[in-house]
Structure 1
C-alpha cells in the first residue's frame, strides 16, 4: 500500500516536471535535470545539461510515452502548430522585405494611398524612391498627408477623380499622359491606378516630360519641314529604288513631290506619285541612275547640272539619302543664272574680239583712206568718158562696201559709241524695213501699242540693226512671206530679262515664218564671223548685238525649226521724254561741188601718224588750192601753229588724228592749241576710237569730225562746213 502511494506521488511529481520541461523545450531554453541516487550515503546531486531542443523533445517524448500517452499527441500537435507559425512569420518577414526592396528599387514611381472621408480624399501610405526623385518630395514629409495637400494641382489635373472612381468600382484605370502643374511642380505624367484587396489605392506613374517635349519638338520640326517642303521654291522629290528578282536595282519610283516640283517640271503630283522614272520621264533608261545609285549605296550626297530641252530650262540637282534604298533630290532652277552667265561670257567674248576687230578696223581704215583717196584724186584728173575714168569708177564702186565693212567692225568694237536722242522708233523701223525689203517678195506689218514711249537711241545705228534683222528674215523666206513687227511698252522688274535692270523699255519683236534656226546655231548667231551663208561676213547680228548693248538694251533670239524665228529688242525708254523731229535717213545731201572758190582757200594744218593718210590728205587739199602744212606728232603741230601765229599767218583749219600711238593725240593737241588760240578751228579725224569724242566732237571743242576712210567729196563738204 505504501509502495502504491509512493508510486502515485512520484508519478504526479514527474508529470509536473515533464510539463515544465515541455514548456522549456518549446521556449528553446537550455536547462539542467538533477536527480539523486538514494543508494549514496551523501545523497550527492548529479546534473546533466540539456542544451538542444531536439534532445529535449526526444527526452520529453520518451518520458511522456512512459507516463502519459494520451497527452503526447496534444503536445506534439501544439508543438507542430507553433513551428508552422514561426515558419509563416519568417516567410512573411522575408516577403515583406522583398516587397520593400522591389518597391524601393523599381524605376517606376509608386504611391500607395488610404481613402479618408469616405473616399473624398486620400492619404499617403507608401512613396518609393523613384517618386521622391520625380516629384521632389522626401518620403518622410509625404507619408500620412493628404494627396491634395502634397499635390494641390491633383484636382485640376483630374487624377483625384480617377482615384475616387477606382476606389468605388475596384476597376483599374489608365489616366493617359497629361500636364500637371502647381506652384512647385510641373510636368507630363502617365498614371495607372489600381485598388488592392485591402482597400488601398496604388498609383504607378512615370514622368513623360522629356519624352513629351521630344514629341512636341519632333512634331514642330515635322510641321516646319512640311511647311518648308510645300513653300520652298526648289523642287523636291522622294524616290525609292526598284529591284528585280535577283535583288538588283533597276529603276526608281517616285514617292512624293512638292508643289515647286509640279510647277518647275509641269508634272501634276497625282501623275508623278507611284510612277517609275522611265514611265514618268518617258525614257528608255532611268535618268542619272548611276549617280543616284551611288548616293544610295554610299550615303554621300552629289550635285550636278543638267538641262531639260523640252522645257527650255536648266537645273542644278542635289541628291541625298534619307533612308536605306531611298534618295531625295532638290531641283534648283538655274535657267536665269545660266542665261546671265552665257550673256556675260558672250559679252566678254565680244569684248575680246572687239578689241581685235577695232585694231584691224583702225589699220584697215588707214589703208582704205590712202587707197581710195588716191583713186578718187586720179578719177578727178581723168577725162570723163575715157577708159581710165570708167575703170576708176568701177574700182571706187567697192569703196562703199569696204567702208560699210569697216564701219561694222568699228561698231562691233569698242568704238562707235551711239549719239542718242529721244526718238519715236516706229518711223525708223518703217524706213529701215522699206529699204531692206525693196524689190523683194516679202512684206511687213507693224502692230504698235498706243502711246508708245520715246527711246534713247542713235537712229542711224538702230536703223542698221533693224535692217540687218529684216534682211535675215527676207533671206529665210525665199518663197516670200510676211515679217510681223510688234511694238509695245514694257516695265521690267529686276532680273526679269537678264541682264537688264528694272525700268521702262520699248520691246520690238520682229518675227518671220521662215525655215527657222537649228538650236546649236541659235547659241552662236551673235558670235562674230559666224554665218551659214555663202556670201555672209558673219558681222551683221554681232554688230546688231553690240549696238543694242551699247544702247543699254538687250536682244533675244528665239526660233523653232520649220516655224520661223523671232528677235526681241529691248531699248531704254521714258514716258516723260519728248521726241525730236526725224529726217529720213535715206535722204542724201546734194553732191558737193568739187571746184573750190577763192573764198574757201586758206592755210590748213594736217596732223596724222600714218604716212599714206597724211600724203593722200595733203594731195587732196593741194588739188583744191589750199596751202597745207603737215605734222606727224601733236607736239610738232602745236609748234607749227604757234610759229605761224608769230608770223601773222594763222591756220584757217586744223585736222587732227585722234589716236597717235606713243605720242600726243588729237584731244591733247587741241587742248594745247586752244591755250595758244581759243578760236582755233579744229576737226578730229579717226578710224577707230573707244572715246566719245567721235560721237560728240563739239562737246570736246572740235568743230566737226571726218571719219576714215573718206573720199574727195567728204573732204570738200567738210571744208565748206568749217570754213564758211
Structure 2
C-alpha cells in the first residue's frame, strides 16, 4: 500500500514506470519479431536442407528399386547402410520406407514406432503424389514425406506410379539452439539500446519536466505553508518560453500577487484592528451608554458608560432582554411602558432610527434618572437587520440645567420689568421718605400726627424692601460684596427674623469657617427669607436647626447642581414643619409660585437669584410631615478678614444747626431735589441744585471761581436725555482731583454702586434712602 501511495504522489516514479513499461513492451515486441523472423529463416533453411536430403534419398532409392525386381538382401543392406549414413551425417533419423500398402520395407531406427497407415500425412502424400513437409515443433523435428515412383518392385510395373513412400525426420534441436542463442544476443543488444534510450529519455524528461515540476511543487508547498517569498527562479522575463517556463512565470506572478495581496490585506487588517481599537476605546470612553441587542431583543453588548448609567455590571445587562421585568422603566410622566414606547420594538418594526425617546429608570440603588434613548438598526453586509444598537444618555443633569435656565429666563423677564420701573419707583419713595422725615422733624413726637407719619415711614420702608427684591431680578445686577464672617450674619439675621415668635433655633456653626465675600444686605435677605419660610412651616412652634461648615465639592460629590468644584461654606437650615410635596419641589424657586394664601411668591425666587449672582447655589430636600432642609453653598474667598476697628458712633438724631458747608444736589426729579435740599438746609448745609451733569459741572466751576466751592456733590447716576453722574464725575475730577462726590441711583444693583471708588466717587447711596443715612455719609465726608 505504501508503494502505491508513493507512486501516486510522485510523477517521477510514474514516468519511470511508464518508460520502463514502454521499454519492456517495445523490447518484447522487437524480440518476438526477431524470434519469429529468425525462426522462419532457420526453419526455411532446414526445410530446404531436408528437401535436398529427401530428393537425394528418393532418387537413390528409386534407382535401386527400379533396377531390381526383387529386393535382395545385399541390396537391402546397401540401402540400409546408405540411410544410416545419411542419418548419421546429416541429422536425419528414423528414415523409413513403406510400400503402398503401408508395409515397412526398411527403417534406420528399428526401435522407433512406425507411422500407422491411417496417418493423415501418408494418405495426403499418396493422394497428391508430391513431397510433404510437416514441422513438429513440440518434438523439435521436421518430418518429410516423399512418394517413390518407378521400378517393378512387387510387380508394380507402371511408369511413374507410386511404388513406395519415404519419410524421415530432420532433427531441429540445433535450429532451436541457434534460434535461442541468436535471440538472446539480439535481445541483449536491443535491451542495451532500449535502456540507453530510456535513460536518455528519462534524463531529458527529468531536466525539461520533472526537475522544474519538482521545483514548482516545492515552491508551491512553501507558498502554501505561508512563505510568500517563494519563487520558482525559472520563469522567463516576458512569459514567451516553453510551457514549463510559462507555468513558472504564471506561478511567480501568482505568488507576487498573493504576496502583494497579503501585504495589502495585512495593512488593511492592521488598519481595521487599529480602527476597531479606536472604536472600542471611543465606545468605552464616551459618556453615552451603548448597548446592542440581537433580533430576539437580548442584550449582547454593553460599554462601560452603560454599566455606569444603568447601575449594573455587563454580565447582568447581557443576560436581560429589552422587556425584562427587572427593568424599572416608566415614561417621563411615570406611566408603565407600552410596546410602542420601547425603542427596540419601534426600530424592529419600522427599520428606521429612533431619536430622543425619554424614559425614567430606577436603578438598583434606588436612584431615578432621566434617560434619552437613541436607536438604529444594525445591518450585515447584505443589508439585512441583525440587531439594534441603542445609545443611552443620562439627561438628568441636562434637564436640571434646562430647568435652571428656564428659571433664569423667568427671573430675567421679571428683571426687565423690575429694571424698567425701579428707578422711578425708588425716586418716588425717596421723595416720600425724605418728606416724611422732614414732617416728623416739625411734629411733636408725642402727638398723633407723629405716630401717623411713623406708620407711613414704615410702609415706605416695606415698599423699599419690596423694590429691593424686585431689583434682585434686574439683569446685570452685581452685589456690593465685602469680606464677611458669615457666622455673625447668620446669627444676627436669625435672631431678627424670629424675634417674638414661638420658634426656637439651634446653631451648629464651625469655629473655623472660611471667609466669604457677600453683599451683607442681600445675604441677610436670603437668610431672612429662609428663616421666615421655616417659621411659617411650623405654626404651632418648633425648632429650626442651622448648621454651617466648610465643604469641598468635587466632581463625584456635586449635589446635582451647576456648582464648580472647589471649597465652599455650606449653610443648612432645617425645620420640623409640614414639608413640601414632591410635585412642588421643582417649582419653589419660580417667581410668583406660592402655596400660601398670603405672600408674593418672590421670597425663594429672590433667594435663588441672589445666590446665583454670588456664584453660589441653593438646594432643597423635603419630606411631607417630617420637614424641609435648604442647603446654601457660598464660594470661599482667598482674602483674610482683618481685625475690625470699632466703628465711630454717629448721632442719628437730626437737629437744626449752623451752617456746616456747601452741598450741590444733581437730580432730574424736582421733588427729590427740593426734598433733599430742604433736609440739607435743616441740617445746616448751604444747597445748590442742578438738573443734569452739564449744569452741575457749570455750577461747580463757577463756585470754585467765586471762591465758594462745594464741599460735596450728590449726583444721580442716570439722567434721562442728559449727562448722568458716571460721565459728569470724570469732568469734575479734571476740574478738581480732590472732589468729594456721592453717587445715588434708583438702580440699586448698578455695578457703579458696588464699585463706586473705581469710578471716582467717595461714597454711594441707593435710593430710596433715609435722612439718617444721608446725615451719616455727609458727616463722614465733611465732619
Q: Same fold (TM over 0.5)?
A: yes
1:301 aligns with 2:387: no
SS of 1:453 mapped into structure 2: coil
Evaluate the alpha carbon distance shift between residue 596 and residue 315 of structure 1 in structure 2; reply closer, same or farther with a 3 A threshold. Answer: same
Structure 2 CA distance for aligned equivalents of residues 253 and 603 of structure 1: 88
Paired position in structure 2 for 1:321: 377
Q: Once the two structures are superposed, what CA deviation does each residue of 1:409-467 show, in whole Å capped at 9, x if it has no partner?
A: 22332476333333332332233233333344444444456744222223333232222
Contact 1:410–1:688 (8 Å) recurs in 2: yes
SS of 1:640 mapped into structure 2: helix
- Which residue among 545, 550, 555 is the counterpart of 1:488? 550
SS of 1:671 mapped into structure 2: helix
Paired position in structure 2 for 1:608: 667
Structure 1 CA distance for aligned equivalents of residues 276 and 774 of structure 2: 82
Structure 2 CA distance for aligned equivalents of residues 287 and 510 of structure 1: 46
Structure 1 CA distance for aligned equivalents of residues 670 and 722 of structure 2: 15
Contact 2:219–2:231 (8 Å) recurs in 1: no
Structure 1 CA distance for aligned equivalents of residues 270 and 765 of structure 2: 82
Structure 1 CA distance for aligned equivalents of residues 483 and 472 of structure 2: 20
1:235 aligns with 2:289: yes
Q: Once the two structures are superposed, what CA deviation does each residue of 1:43-86 show, in whole Å capped at 9, x if it has no partner?
A: xxxxxxxxxxxxxxxxxxxxxxxxxxxxxxxxxxxxxxxxxxxx
Paired position in structure 2 for 1:397: 458
Paired position in structure 2 for 1:521: 584
SS of 1:548 mapped into structure 2: helix
- Which residue among 551, 561, 564 is the counterpart of 2:614? 551
Aligned pair count?
A: 546
Task: Give the Å deviation of 1:319.
Answer: 0.7
Contact 2:472–2:606 (8 Å) recurs in 1: yes
Paired position in structure 2 for 1:84: none
Paired position in structure 2 for 1:577: 639
TM-score by length of 1: 0.65
- Which residue among 438, 446, 451 is the counterpart of 1:377? 438
- Greater CA deviation, 391-400 or 428-437? 428-437
Task: Give the Å deviation of 1:595.
Answer: 0.8
Task: Give the Å deviation of 1:363.
Answer: 1.4
Task: Give the Å deviation of 1:285.
Answer: 4.0
Evaluate the alpha carbon distance shift between residue 399 and residue 241 of structure 1 in structure 2; reply closer, same or farther with a 3 A threshold. Answer: same
Task: Give the Å deviation of 1:664.
Answer: 0.6
Evaluate the alpha carbon distance shift between residue 707 and residue 229 of structure 1 in structure 2; reply closer, same or farther with a 3 A threshold. Answer: closer
1:263 aligns with 2:323: no
Paired position in structure 1 for 2:478: 417
Task: Give the Å deviation of 1:674.
Answer: 2.4
1:476 aligns with 2:537: yes
SS of 1:508 mapped into structure 2: strand
RMSD in angstroms over aligned alpha carbons?
A: 4.3
Structure 2 CA distance for aligned equivalents of residues 495 and 337 of structure 1: 17
Larger-gyration structure (1/2): 2
Structure 2 CA distance for aligned equivalents of residues 367 and 418 of structure 1: 23
Structure 1 CA distance for aligned equivalents of residues 351 and 483 of structure 2: 61
Structure 2 CA distance for aligned equivalents of residues 141 and 683 of structure 1: 118
> Following superposition of structure 1 onto structure 2, how do residues 343-362 of structure 1 map, counting pairs within 5 Å?
343-362=404-423
> Following superposition of structure 1 onto structure 2, how do residues 156-171 of structure 1 map, counting pairs within 5 Å?
none
SS of 2:290 mapped into structure 1: strand
Task: Give the Å deviation of 1:655.
Answer: 1.1
SS of 2:517 mapped into structure 1: strand
Evaluate the alpha carbon distance shift between residue 633 and residue 216 of structure 1 in structure 2; reply closer, same or farther with a 3 A threshold. Answer: closer
SS of 2:291 mapped into structure 1: strand
Paired position in structure 2 for 1:702: 761
1:507 aligns with 2:570: yes
SS of 1:678 mapped into structure 2: coil
Evaluate the alpha carbon distance shift between residue 573 and residue 141 of structure 1 in structure 2; reply closer, same or farther with a 3 A threshold. Answer: farther
Task: Give the Å deviation of 1:494.
Answer: 10
1:632 aligns with 2:691: yes
Q: Once the two structures are superposed, what CA deviation does each residue of 1:283-317 show, in whole Å capped at 9, x if it has no partner?
A: 65436536543321332211114252753423221
Task: Give the Å deviation of 1:634.
Answer: 1.0
Contact 2:418–2:471 (8 Å) recurs in 1: yes
Structure 2 CA distance for aligned equivalents of residues 591 and 608 of structure 1: 27
1:597 aligns with 2:597: no
Contact 1:545–1:554 (8 Å) recurs in 2: yes
- Structure 2 unaligned spans of 5+: 1-123, 133-202, 233-254, 331-335, 380-384
Evaluate the alpha carbon distance shift between residue 218 and residue 645 of structure 1 in structure 2; reply closer, same or farther with a 3 A threshold. Answer: closer
Evaluate the alpha carbon distance shift between residue 717 and residue 216 of structure 1 in structure 2; reply closer, same or farther with a 3 A threshold. Answer: closer
Structure 2 CA distance for aligned equivalents of residues 628 and 337 of structure 1: 58
TM-score by length of 2: 0.61
Q: Once the two structures are superposed, what CA deviation does each residue of 1:478-522 show, in whole Å capped at 9, x if it has no partner?
A: 342342424123154599565444443333333334333334433
Contact 1:470–1:483 (8 Å) recurs in 2: no
> Following superposition of structure 1 onto structure 2, how do residues 132-171 of structure 1 map, counting pairs within 5 Å?
143-145=210-212, 147=214, 151=218
Evaluate the alpha carbon distance shift between residue 270 and residue 494 of structure 1 in structure 2; reply closer, same or farther with a 3 A threshold. Answer: closer
1:280 aligns with 2:343: no
Task: Give the Å deviation of 1:329.
Answer: 1.6
- Which residue among 644, 652, 664 is the counterpart of 2:711? 652
Evaluate the alpha carbon distance shift between residue 690 and residue 227 of structure 1 in structure 2; reply closer, same or farther with a 3 A threshold. Answer: closer
SS of 2:642 mapped into structure 1: coil
Structure 2 CA distance for aligned equivalents of residues 592 and 489 of structure 1: 41
Structure 1 CA distance for aligned equivalents of residues 416 and 497 of structure 2: 29
- Greater CA deviation, 609-618 or 478-487? 478-487
SS of 1:328 mapped into structure 2: strand
> Following superposition of structure 1 onto structure 2, how do residues 31-42 of structure 1 map, counting pairs within 5 Å?
none
Structure 1 CA distance for aligned equivalents of residues 269 and 606 of structure 2: 66
